[in-house]
């Protein structure tokens, strides 16, 4: 510490009232509700999910796109639609210092469509296939598996109206889950075109009007503002009434029916099992034709099956944003929930190869030499653990034991003077003193194929 720098004063703890929780909390650093840290011990699962998504995206020739977290709020208001929970109450909207209304993105499909238009991607060979990964924000009521900042990986295909695109996107999602070892159930429905949906909605509203008095308040509101949403109500009363309600599939026009049938045929062709769910509508306004979700197969049959991802076709979105009308289809996976599903199955792969070598250094001279040797190991691609903050050999060896390394290198004052280093086999306890210039190659030989060489699997692009 700089001696001139005054010692930090212990700040007086001020009690503040958290408006949301209505209870007193301390003024110390604290997470916002619905936000969380993803700790080092969870990173193995997260890397596994991200790496799997990345490698499948590459295998299916999707191009990566990184989209901003902050966008003009009207991008979402125009596309996601009034009467949706996201727009009504979940979006983080604020005025920026330039007096513009901006929003933390609640999802990224609208941003991808904006980027498609803004960068003239219509002039590239179609379809344009993009994928992304990053945080989304929704001021939702926090509960298990529901966060206010959560991560999605998304796949979007612009400029193709063929049902094979819908089917291949579902297949890609399914393959990602298969690679991760998570069983999912694919649920699918078609909500047709805005025109046939309108006729269906008239019918649906008149059906539910008869039972208006029985409906819970939330569903009464949906009936008025966004009647399609009544189909994914979780309320017991509404679920009962839904059994007699008109079904959207009966209202599809010929073209929509054909699109849906072909999508299903392609899925049969690639042997992706699916469940037809006539109540699946996926709240957002911009969907057309196919809508689908990936649900955890573990809680199959539960009323509130965990959705691990979802998507659909959105042929009207690019046109709605002022671009030349362009058919499109996509889906997003919820990384937080997928990582949770892996944890439930006790799957936690190490985020990168664990070090097999520990470096113990005694005294300042050894530290100086150690720093240089450490670099040599890094260049050779051999990860080395150390506990540079500890002085005693005993405490350093304790750390080495805890880490379960194979070899420990010991560098003391004497070895520095002799130009040597001690190498200790942790299992047998055998030690030998060797020329420090040869240490990297000797360690590599002793570890054989187990050197834990750091593979360059991580994309240079920031993932979060």
Could you list the residues that contact ligand AMP (CB under 6 A)? 107, 138, 140, 145-147, 150, 152, 307-310, 332, 334, 336-337
- DSSP per-residue string spanning 163-223: HHHHHHHHHHHHHHHHHHT--EEEEEEE---HHHHHHHHHHHHHHHHTTGGGS-HHHHHHH
How far apart are CB 140 and ligand AMP at their closest, in Å? 5
Residue 55 to residue 58: CA distance in whole angstroms: 5
- Nearer to ligand AMP by Cβ, of 144 and 455: the residue is 144
CB-nearer residue toward ligand AMP: 227 or 334: 334
Q: CA of 76: how far to CAs of 262, 363, 392, in Å?
A: 31, 60, 59
H or E segment to which residue 250 belongs:
none
Q: How far is the CB of 315 from ligand AMP (least distance, A)?
A: 17
Quote the radius of gyration of the chain (alpha carbons, Å). Answer: 28
Query: Closest approach of Cβ 326 to ligand AMP, in Å?
Result: 20
**CB-nearer residue toward ligand AMP: 107 or 415:** 107
Name the residue nearer to ligand AMP (CB basis): 158 or 208.
158
Q: Which is nearer to ligand AMP, 334 or 355 (CB)?
A: 334
- Beta carbon of residue 97, minimum distance to ligand AMP (angstroms, whole number): 28
| Distance (Å, whole) CA 162 – CA 262 | 9
β-bridge mates for residue 171, sequence order: none
Residue 315 near residue 324, CB atoms below 8 Å: no
Question: Using CB atoms, what's the residue nearest to ligand AMP?
Answer: 334
Q: Is residue 33 within 8 Å of 140, Cβ to Cβ?
A: no
CB of 306 vs ligand AMP, minimal distance in Å: 7
187/190 with CB nearer ligand AMP: 187
Smaller CB distance to ligand AMP: residue 102 or 284?
284
Q: Is 384 exposed, middle or buried (0-12, 13-18, 19+ CB in 10 A)?
A: buried
Crossing angle of helices 43-59 and 335-344, rounded to 10°: 120
Q: How far apart are CA 217 and CA 236, in angstroms?
A: 13
Measured between alpha carbons, how far is 247 from 93 in angstroms, rounded to an integer?
36
What's the min distance (Å) between Cβ of 39 and ligand AMP?
A: 17
Q: What's the min distance (Å) between Cβ of 340 and ligand AMP?
A: 9
Could you tell me if 293 and 280 are in contact, meaning their C-beta atoms sit under 8 angstroms apart? Answer: yes
Nearest CB to ligand AMP, comparing residues 152 and 396? 152
Tell me whether residue 36 or residue 220 sits nearer to ligand AMP (CB atom): 36
Q: Report CA torsion sign: 21, 22, 25, 27.
A: positive
Report the nearest approach of ligand AMP to the CB of residue 37 (Å). Answer: 15
In the complex, the smallest distance separating the C-beta of residue 283 from ligand AMP, rounded to whole angstroms, is: 7
Q: Which is nearer to ligand AMP, 65 or 423 (CB)?
A: 65
Which residue reads 């604290």 in tokens? 30
Residues in CB range of 415: below 8 A, 6 or more apart: 366, 421, 422, 433, 436
Closer residue to ligand AMP (CB): 114 or 138:
138
CB of 75 to ligand AMP, least distance (A): 16
What is the DSSP secondary-structure string of 50-75?
HHHHHHHHHHTTPEE----SEEEHHH
Cα–Cα distances in angstroms (integers) from residue 285 to residues 81, 221, 443, in the given order: 5, 16, 60
Provide, rounded to whole angstroms, the least separation between the CB of residue 137 and ligand AMP. 9
């Amino acid at each position: 510490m700089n001696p001139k720098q005054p010692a930090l004063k212990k700040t007086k703890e001020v009690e503040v009232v958290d408006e949301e929780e209505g209870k007193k909390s301390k003024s110390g650093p604290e997470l916002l509700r619905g936000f969380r840290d993803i700790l080092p011990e969870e990173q193995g699962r997260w890397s596994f999910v991200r790496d799997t998504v990345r490698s499948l995206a590459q295998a299916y020739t999707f191009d990566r796109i990184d989209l901003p977290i902050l966008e003009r709020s009207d991008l979402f208001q125009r596309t996601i639609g009034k009467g949706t929970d996201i727009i009504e109450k979940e979006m983080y909207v604020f005025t920026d210092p330039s007096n513009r209304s901006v929003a933390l993105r609640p999802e990224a499909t609208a941003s991808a469509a904006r980027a498609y238009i803004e960068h003239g991607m219509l002039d590239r060979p179609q379809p344009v296939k993009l994928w992304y990964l990053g945080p989304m924000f929704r001021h939702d009521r926090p509960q298990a598996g529901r966060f206010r900042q959560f991560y999605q990986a998304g796949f979007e295909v612009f400029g193709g109206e063929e049902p094979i695109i819908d089917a291949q996107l579902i297949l890609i999602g399914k393959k990602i889950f298969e690679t991760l070892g998570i069983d999912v159930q694919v649920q699918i429905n078609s909500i047709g075109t805005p025109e046939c949906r309108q006729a269906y909605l008239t019918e649906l509203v008149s059906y539910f009007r008869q039972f208006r008095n029985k409906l819970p308040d939330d569903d009464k509101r949906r009936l008025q503002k966004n009647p399609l949403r009544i189909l994914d109500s979780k309320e017991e009363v509404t679920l009962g009434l839904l059994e007699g309600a008109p079904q959207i599939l009966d209202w599809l026009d010929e073209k929509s029916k054909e699109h849906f049938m072909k999508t299903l045929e392609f899925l049969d062709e690639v042997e992706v099992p699916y469940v037809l769910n006539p109540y699946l509508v996926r709240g957002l306004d911009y969907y057309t034709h196919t809508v689908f979700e990936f649900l955890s197969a573990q809680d199959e049959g539960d009323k509130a099956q965990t959705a691990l991802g979802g998507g659909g076709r959105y042929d009207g979105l690019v046109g709605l944003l002022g671009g030349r009308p362009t058919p499109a289809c996509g889906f997003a996976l919820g990384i937080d929930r997928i990582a949770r599903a892996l944890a439930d199955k006790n799957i936690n792969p190490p985020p990168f190869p664990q070090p097999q070598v520990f470096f113990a250094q005694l005294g300042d001279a050894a530290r100086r030499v150690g720093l240089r040797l450490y670099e040599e190991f890094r260049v050779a691609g051999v990860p080395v653990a150390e506990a540079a903050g500890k002085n005693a050999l005993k405490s350093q060896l304790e750390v080495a034991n805890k880490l379960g390394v194979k070899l420990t290198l010991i560098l003391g004052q004497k070895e520095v003077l002799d130009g040597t280093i001690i190498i200790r086999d942790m299992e047998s306890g055998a030690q030998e003193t060797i020329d420090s210039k040869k240490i990297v190659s000797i360690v590599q030989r002793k570890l054989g194929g187990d050197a834990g060489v750091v593979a360059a699997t991580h994309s240079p692009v920031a993932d979060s």
